[in-house]
């Protein structure tokens, strides 16, 4: 996703319940233009309706893997909801959705 979107003038925000230091490790490992936001108690994930209840390996609630494209006016323009956590949207499809936004 990062190489495809790197020059598109877009901010990628990764949101997970992970503590920040773990996310930071991941960002450095991927050398990504991500900003990782920690939603420790899943409050934001819940406000978006994206909690997978009891979906974690220890039966805890986890986010449902989801990618959302928001335009400059704050309107949702594109959405990829997974029905399996093995599946992620093709970065090219995300990049296409971003490029399709009106400037």
Considering only residues 29 through 48, tell me which ones interact with another protein, judged by CB under 8 A. Answer: 34-39, 44-45, 47-48
Number of residues that bind another protein (CB under 8 A): 71
C-beta of residue 72 within 8 angstroms of C-beta of residue 91: no
Distance in angstroms (rounded) separating the CA atoms of residues 3 and 31: 10
70-89: contacts with another protein (CB under 8 A): 70-79, 81-89
Residues 6+ apart with CB under 8 A from 37: 13, 14, 15
Pick from 3, 6, 60, 96 the residue near another protein by CB under 8 A.
Answer: 60
| CB closer to another protein out of 31 and 84 | 84
């Amino acid at each position: 996703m990062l190489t495809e979107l790197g020059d598109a003038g877009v901010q990628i925000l990764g949101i997970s319940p992970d503590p920040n230091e773990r996310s930071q490790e991941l960002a450095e490992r991927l050398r990504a233009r991500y900003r990782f936001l920690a939603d420790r108690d899943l409050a934001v994930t819940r406000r978006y309706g994206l909690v997978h209840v009891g979906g974690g390996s220890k039966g805890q609630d986890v986010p449902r893997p989801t990618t959302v494209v928001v335009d400059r006016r704050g309107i949702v323009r594109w959405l990829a909801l997974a029905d399996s956590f093995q599946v992620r949207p093709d970065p090219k499809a995300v990049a296409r959705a971003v490029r399709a936004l009106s400037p």
